[in-house]
Amino acid sequence: MERVLISGGSRGIGAALVRAFATKGHRVAFLYRANTAAAEAVAAETGAIPIQCDISNPVAVHMAVAKATETLDGAPTVLINNAGVSHIGLSRDMTDDEWRRVCDTNLSGAFYLCREAQGAMIAAQYGRIVNIGSMWGKIGASCEVAYSATKAGLRGLTTALAKELGPSGITVNCVEPGLIETEMNRTLDAETKAALIEETPACRIGTPEDVAEAVLFFSDRKASFITGQILGVDGGFAI
């Protein structure tokens, strides 16, 4: 049984991850930023422990990992960096604050959590870290410059940490979802969705559960010889 910490666990892919790990019998804590009602609903459904945390704040991350360690009766053995935000608009119109908000959450937040969690993993000579990227980090998305850049950054974070932490028995991998039926993508109009589906060889929109299966695979103890890998869960869109 693992002790699992998941960021952004109150909805969408994050909530599916909480359900997947809890169903497997693991002890799960998850971070959420503001939606207390959604977090409490996921906690009631799964028995997981909700912890409020703005991961763009390194002090808050330090406190949240300490709380997770206490409530899980031990430090996390699995860390899933799922929390993310986006900003849609022309890059020339993007303000400094809008840029920083995306970067601070998507990339810095993941780094802060990796930094906090790895100490106990190194001491135990075991750990699993999975970063949730995006196919836009591989191929880029027009009018989503900050999101694409930060998700590309997660690729570098993944491969660099895999090399750094591998000798300590820690694997670091990345899952890159494509078009997934989540709240973030529900803003897309029907015409845009249809066009994206048409470009997807699997001919459908993915589900949060599709992503969860890939994360479970990377998090398994049997996946000890798999690290630094980036797995697209995109129905072939980014081929």
Of 35, 1, 60, nearest to 9 by C-alpha is 35
126 is catalytic: no
| Cα–Cα distance, 58 to 63 (Å, whole number) | 9
| Cα–Cα distance, 78 to 88 (Å, whole number) | 32
Indicate the helix (H) or strand (E) that contains 79: strand 78-81
SS3 75: coil
Residue type, 172: V
| Per-position DSSP letters for 174-186, written without gaps between them | EEEE-SB-SGGGT
Contact at 8 Å (CB) between 83 and 31? yes
| Cα–Cα distance, 112 to 57 (Å, whole number) | 8
SS3 39: helix
Per annotation, catalytic residue among 32, 112, 126, 147: 147
- By annotation, the residues acting in catalysis are 147
